[in-house]
Amino acid sequence: MKFCTSIIDKIKNILETESEKKVHIFDKDVAKALNMTQSNLSMMKKRDTLPLQEIVEFCAKRKININWVLYGQMPDSLSEQTDRLIEIKYFGEIKSGAGGGAFNDNDEYIEVSYPDYILASFGYKKHLKNIEIINVSGDSMEPELFNADKIFIDRNKVTPNEKDIFIVNSPDGIFVKRLKFINNQTLELVSSNKIYKNISVPVEDLGIIGKVIIKLAE
């Protein structure tokens, strides 16, 4: 069973226990409880991508420990640190792939709260101060990243390689791409969607903002 589907099934069980009558819970009921549309939830199940922010809010309202929902851990097995919320900068107006903007601390952002163990589970607890969130715009990185996905980036990871996906600032704007060295003077911005051609950029004209570490679907 896919991870997202198993979590949705667990949310269905929670909703069934809340109901005064014995009723069967469907995906549409889960979508309503998470303040999502059924079509968005269906798309996320196909991608096996969690609506993490919505699940955090769902659990917070019910005072349910999210570790139990995500990982099956019982509350008495958790340390106090797992309940700590951290603030992460979300640059909602910055859309990687759309171009424009320098993406620095002068750009407008809001701070959103996440339990620190969400990022710790990906091995980034020591780097929380370097983590920020922006949006994906367009389809050039499908099927890995989709339009309107929120992506967590580590701004401390700026050494290019061909394996990871990076956010870069170029003369044509901000892009989310893989990076491929042509030579010491030139990098190619590589799309996952093969209908897009690679873009050659002089190394001196390219600023690497950070590495993509986690994605959340919209």
Q: Is the pLDDT of residue 166 over 50?
A: yes
Nearest residue to 177 via CA among 204, 207, 156, 148:
207
Q: Is the pLDDT of residue 198 over 70?
A: yes
Decide if 88 contacts 130 (C-beta within 8 A): no
Burial (0-12, 13-18, 19+ Cβ within 10 Å), 38: middle
Higher pLDDT, 46 or 83: 46
Higher pLDDT, 119 or 109: 109
The percent of residues in the chain predicted with pLDDT above 70, rounded, is 76
What's CA 178's distance to the chain center, in Å?
17
Could you give the domains of the chain?
Answer: 3-76 (1.10.260), 83-216 (2.10.109.10)
Q: Is the pLDDT of residue 109 over 50?
A: yes
pTM: predicted TM-score of the whole model, two decimal places: 0.61
